[in-house]
Amino acid sequence: MTGFFNTVRQDLASGLGLLTRLPVMGLLSPTQRNSTAAWPLARSLWCWPLVGAGIGAITGGLGYVLQSGLHLSALPAVTLALAAQTALTGSFHEDGLADMADSYGANTRARKLEIMRDSRVGSYGVIALCL
């Protein structure tokens, strides 16, 4: 049973490490912390919806507390909640949105993929992020 829990801990650490900027080394056993083996990202796929739900719960909960508990109006509450989500995830989804928007300027599939692999943000990406 210990092997099962160590596997689950490593999967959760992999999922959290990929989708957030939270420190995850505390989830691992000492043996796993000292290992130089690659982390099993494919095996951690099962926990990605759980991590996403946790991120959504944190973001939504913060927005609710800011609006209902601290009586902030909706726009500042949502802005602060989304800023917290961006910090929590390291802008993971915002980067994907900008890449996807930039690729709209391409005519071929190969050119779209080339644009999405480019680390620079173009005008379509900036517009999408601002909107």
Tell me how far the alpha carbon of residue 81 is from its chain's centroid: 14
DSSP 8-state class, residue 66: I
Digit-coded pLDDT (tens) for 47-90: 999 999 999 999 999 999 999 999 999 999 999 999 999 999 99
User: What global pTM score does this model have?
Assistant: 0.80
Digit-coded pLDDT (tens) for 4-59: 988 999 999 999 999 999 999 998 888 888 888 888 889 999 999 999 999 999 99
Judge whether 45 and 14 are in contact, CB under 8 Å.
Answer: no
Helix (H, G, I), strand (E, B) or coil at 73: coil
